[in-house]
Amino acid sequence: GPCRVFLTSTTQDGNLGGLSGADTICQGLASTAGLPGTYRAWLSDDTQSPSTRFSQSDGAYQLISGATVANSWTDLTDGTLATPITVTETGATFDDPGLRAWTNTLANGNAGGVLNENCVGWTSSTNGPHGDEGQVTATSDNWTTFASGTCNNEFHLYCFQQSK
């Protein structure tokens, strides 16, 4: 079956507890919502990225609502999405173009972004360092590479199912 994808219903500052802390946020929200499987955050630091951390599915990636985001990993990482990732783990939709998600990830799944910054490995919540972000309503590569903000901002995460 398809891998589920959701936007976190909560927002976090840039101190996510590193990649593992972000994965824990995704997993906790998925478990609370009764979603099966293992989830990881679409997030990169200086050494790891979705292209190295994710199980790359040949099957579809779908929102909780059932809408297809991409037909496969190759389709997911080609620079465009079929539909934006605006549906949370609870099924609520956040479709405000002003909303952002922490990423520091290029559309191809590798680390990088506008400034290639990751809030000091996703451990800083201060106004000095930056973290790269995506625009939640975008279907172009802006979904993951849109801007960079200081780490005291509160943004969402994109969460991707890795296993059933």
CB 122 within 8 A of CB 16: yes
CA–CA distance, 143 with 34 (Å, rounded to integer): 26
Encode pLDDT of 110-145 as tens digits. 999 999 999 999 999 999 999 999 999 999 999 999
Model pTM score = 0.97
Of 85, 87, 90, nearest in space to 31 by CA: 90
CA–CA distance, 151 with 11 (Å, rounded to integer): 12
What residues are paired with 135 via a beta bridge?
100
CA Rg value for the chain:
14
> How do beta strands 61-63 and 3-7 pair?
parallel
Model confidence at 82, in pLDDT bands (50, 70, 90)?
very high
The CB-side HSE value for 106 (13 A sphere, CA atoms) comes to 11
Count of C-beta atoms within a 10 Å radius of residue 94:
18
Give yes or no for residue 49 having a pLDDT over 90: yes
Count of C-beta atoms within a 10 Å radius of residue 35:
18
pLDDT of residue 32: 98
Give yes or no for residue 71 having a pLDDT over 90: yes
Encoding tokens for residue 14? 């840039």
CA–CA distance, 129 with 7 (Å, rounded to integer): 24
Share of the chain above pLDDT 90, in %: 97
